[in-house]
Amino acid sequence: MKRSSTPDPGAEDERPDTGTNAGAGEGTEAGAGTRVGPGDRVRERAPDRPTDLPKRSWRAVLRGTVREFRNDELADRAAALTYYGVLAIFPALLVLVSLLGIAGESTTQRVLDNLRRLAPGSVRDVISDAVMQLQGRSGIGSLVAVVGLVVALWSASGYVAAFIRASNAVYDVPEGRSVWKILPLRLALTVTLMLLACASALIVVFSGGLARRAGEALGVGDSGLAVWSIAKWPVLVLLVTIMIALLYWAAPNAKGRGFAWVTPGSFLALAIWMTASAGFAFYVANFASYNKTYGTVAGVIVFLVWLWITNLAVLLGLEFDAELARQRAIAGGLPEHEEPYVQPRDTRAWSDEDRRRMEGSAVQPGGREQRDVSDRLEDEVKNHAHDRTEHSPRR
């Protein structure tokens, strides 16, 4: 969690050029004016690989992950991410239907022909009616597609924005990037995640009888379906890994060690997600009574709980990576309680309060933490002298 304090006037001038602050300003954008985060010497001495950390550092990583997961209120943040994720689903479906409606009569007819062979009767009738109505009013269909696309993109970008806020809380760094940097990042990351999520959903949906009907419609034989039934799961894991890697790399206002396809945190998140998903599916199938309790909306409730578990696993993996970065910096010479323990990408959008808080978090001569120690020692001396005075024999 962030520490709030105000440094002494002139403390910056008194600060020695240790590995903590040496070169710290190089990590921020020009003109930022805030020297925070580990310096060059700390980064040079820090272990390059997690396996180089001593055992006590790994124990500190595990304890810190559990403690900060609770202190950063990541369970509540996972619920917020679930809300934004659900908010993006229905506008996206509207876009898909609208795009079919304006695709042209010949293209739409081919899609409907395949749909009649694949989809169940009720779903086929609903989608066919919607597509045919939009096909007959191409101008309205175009307008709905454009509006739906904008709404879906903005709604889905709300998920990315919430994840950015959560990642900054995890790394204990305020957002320092300007809106002109954050907004393009939000939209680009949103589009990429939507494409990967759609591909992942298709992989999950096309299995069993639906995969056989799709294979017949596309002219794929039994051998192709057998290969697909095996290969789809590694492909799904790969897509989820890419999504997690993009979020971990782009979301926080913290300089890491560059883009990595797999980090210890993402591996942990993926393992927890797969284990929790399998366990939750087994629980729902064998023990839960969602259908009796919730009736027709049982499927929606199950989906919401699963989505919350997914976001919980992703945030836990991010917290693990953050605590790993903290222990790397400590191994490189950073004082144990100093924050931030990573260099921010940008500080120009920080408020004065953010700057005071970040600059005052450092352990420095004359700083808050050393003043606290001095004050405690002085109080102990005074109390000891007072006790001796009270217990001394009076003349």
pLDDT at 13: 41
Give the model's confidence band at 251: pLDDT under 50 very low, under 70 low, under 90 confident, else very high.
very high
167 pLDDT exceeds 60?
A: yes
Rounded to whole angstroms, the Cα distance separating 193 from 199 reads: 10
Element (H, E) at 330: helix 298-331
pLDDT at 197: 83
Kindly state the DSSP code that residue 9 receives in the 8-state scheme: T
For 317, other C-beta atoms within 10 Å of its C-beta total 25
243 pLDDT exceeds 90?
A: yes
CB 361 within 8 A of CB 5: yes
**280 or 228, greater pLDDT:** 280
Q: At what angle do helices 121-136 and 89-101 cross, to 10 degrees?
A: 60
Mean pLDDT of 363-376: 40
Rounded to whole angstroms, the Cα distance separating 54 from 382 reads: 41
Give the model's confidence band at 182: pLDDT under 50 very low, under 70 low, under 90 confident, else very high.
very high
Q: Is residue 377 part of a domain?
A: no
Q: Is residue 20 part of a domain?
A: no
Listed in order, strand segments (DSSP E) in 133-257 are: none
CB 148 within 8 A of CB 173: no
- pTM value? 0.72
218 pLDDT exceeds 60?
A: yes
Average pLDDT, the chain: 74
Torsional sign, CA 236, 240, 246, 249 = negative
Q: Is residue 390 part of a domain?
A: no
Whats the size of the chain, residue-wise? 395
At 49, is the secondary structure helix, strand, or coil?
coil
DSSP secondary structure letters along 96-128:
HHHHHHTS-HHHHHHHHHHHHHHS-HHHHHHHH
Give the model's confidence band at 135: pLDDT under 50 very low, under 70 low, under 90 confident, else very high.
low
Residue-range definition of the domain harbouring residue 77: 55-350
285 pLDDT exceeds 60?
A: yes
Q: How far is CA 166 from CA 74, 75, 81, 261, 308, in A?
A: 8, 11, 9, 21, 14
pLDDT at 320: 95
Longest dimension (CA), the chain: 113
Q: How far is CA 142 from CA 100, 129, 134, 145, in A?
A: 10, 17, 9, 5
Rounded to whole angstroms, the Cα distance separating 133 from 137 reads: 7
Q: Is residue 303 part of a domain?
A: yes
Q: Is residue 380 part of a domain?
A: no
The torsion region of residue 28 among left (phi > 0), alpha (psi -120 to 50) and beta comes to beta
Pseudo-torsion of CA 272, 163, 155, 178, nearest 10°?
-160
Q: Is residue 157 part of a domain?
A: yes
Q: In this structure, what token pair is assigned to residue 144? A: 């709905």
Mean pLDDT of 353-357: 83
CB 196 within 8 A of CB 247: no
**What does the pLDDT look like over 149-165, one tens digit per residue?**
777 778 778 899 999 99
Rounded to whole angstroms, the Cα distance separating 187 from 185 reads: 6
**What does the pLDDT look like over 78-126, one tens digit per residue?**
999 999 888 877 666 665 566 555 555 665 666 666 656 555 555 556 5
Q: Is residue 328 part of a domain?
A: yes
**What does the pLDDT look like over 29-55, one tens digit per residue?**
433 445 677 777 777 777 777 777 888
Q: Is residue 47 part of a domain?
A: no
Rounded to whole angstroms, the Cα distance separating 109 from 132 reads: 9
CB 85 within 8 A of CB 149: no
Element (H, E) at 7: none
At 326, is the secondary structure helix, strand, or coil?
helix
Domain count, the chain: 1
271 pLDDT exceeds 80?
A: yes
Torsional sign, CA 132, 135, 137, 143 = positive
211 pLDDT exceeds 70?
A: no
Residues contacting 185, CB < 8 A, separation 6+: 160, 177, 250
189 pLDDT exceeds 80?
A: yes
**What does the pLDDT look like over 309-321, one tens digit per residue?**
999 999 999 999 9
Q: In this structure, what token pair is assigned to residue 327? A: 């222990």
